[in-house]
Amino acid sequence: MMIFDTLNQGYLGRDLGKSYLLMDPKYLYPAKSSAQESYLNSTFSCVQGSATFATGIEDLMLNREEVINSKIRMLLSDIYLRRDIQRENIDRIYQDQSSCRSLIFRLDDKVWDKKRMDMERKIIDLEQEKRRQVTDYFRDILFLKKDLREALIEKLEEKQKADMLT
C-alpha cells in the first residue's frame, strides 16, 4: 500500500515507515540509477553496527572539513593582511614623494643646487621602493595563493569523498 498524503490526520494510527515510498524518478526508473545508488538502496547496506561506523566516518569527514575550512580562512586572512600592508607602504611612499615634490616646488625653478638634486634622487629612490614593494607583494602572495589553491583542491576532494560515502 502506498500513501501519498502523509499530512492527512486520518493516517495517524498507521505505521508510515513501512508503507511510505519515495516518489523520486531515480526509484521509478532503475536504468538511470548509478552504481552508487544501487549500493545505497541494497539490503546489504544496512548491516548492524554500521550506524556507529557511519557516524565515526561522518565525524571524521566533518572534522577534516573544519580543518580545511579553517586553513582556507587563515590563508585568506594572510593574503588580505599582506595586501593591506602593501597598500599602507605604498601610501606612505606616495606621501613621501609628495612631500619631496612640494619641497622642490618651494625652491626656485632656475636653481639646481645640491638640495634640489638630493630631493630628486629621493623621489627616484622612492619610486624604486614602490616597485620593490609591488614585486615583494607578488612574491609573498604567490606562495599564499599556491597554498590556497592546494587547500581548495583538498576541500573539493574531501567533498567528493563525502558525496561518495553518502
SS3 per residue for 101-128: HHHHHHCCCCCCCHHHHHHHHHHHHHHH
Instruction: Decide if 52 is inside a domain.
Output: no
Across the range 23-32, mean pLDDT stands at: 46
Residue 159 belongs to a domain: yes
Kindly state whether residue 56 falls inside one of the protein's structural domains: no
Say yes or no: 85 and 123 in one domain: yes
CA distance 146 to 75: 10
d(CA 93, CA 161): 49
Question: Once rounded to an integer, what is the mean pLDDT over residues 46-54?
Answer: 45
Please determine, for residue 145, whether its predicted confidence score (pLDDT) is greater than 90: yes
Sign of dihedral through CA atoms 22, 24, 28, 32?
negative
What is the CB neighbour count within 10 angstroms for residue 31? Answer: 4
Tell me whether residue 25 is in a domain: yes
Query: In terms of domains, do 74 and 152 share one?
Result: yes
Within a domain: 55:
no
Q: Tell me: do 81 and 161 sit in the same domain.
A: yes
Domain membership of residue 57 (yes or no) is no
Question: What mean pLDDT is reported for the chain?
Answer: 74
Bigger pLDDT: 125 vs 33: 125
Residues 86 and 5 in one domain: no
**3-state class of 28 per DSSP?**
helix
- The answer to whether residues 82 and 160 belong to one domain is yes
Judge if 70 and 146 occupy the same domain: yes
Segments forming the whole domain that contains residue 126: 65-165
Confidence of residue 2 (pLDDT cuts 50, 70, 90): very low
Average pLDDT of the segment spanning 102-113: 79
How many folded domains does the chain comprise?
A: 2
> Residue 134: which residues within 8 A CB-CB, separation 6 or more?
86, 90
Average pLDDT, integer, range 89-109:
88
* Same-domain check for residues 23 and 70: no
Q: pLDDT-based confidence at 55, cuts 50/70/90?
A: low
Same domain, 74 and 42: no
Q: CA angle at residue 141 from 140 to 145, to 5 degrees?
A: 135
Q: Is the pLDDT of residue 20 over 60?
A: no
42 and 96 share a domain?
Answer: no
Question: 19 vs 92, which has greater pLDDT?
Answer: 92
Distance of CA 48 to the CA centre of its chain: 38
The average pLDDT across 55-65 equals 75
Q: Are 16 and 91 in the same domain?
A: no
Same domain, 40 and 69: no
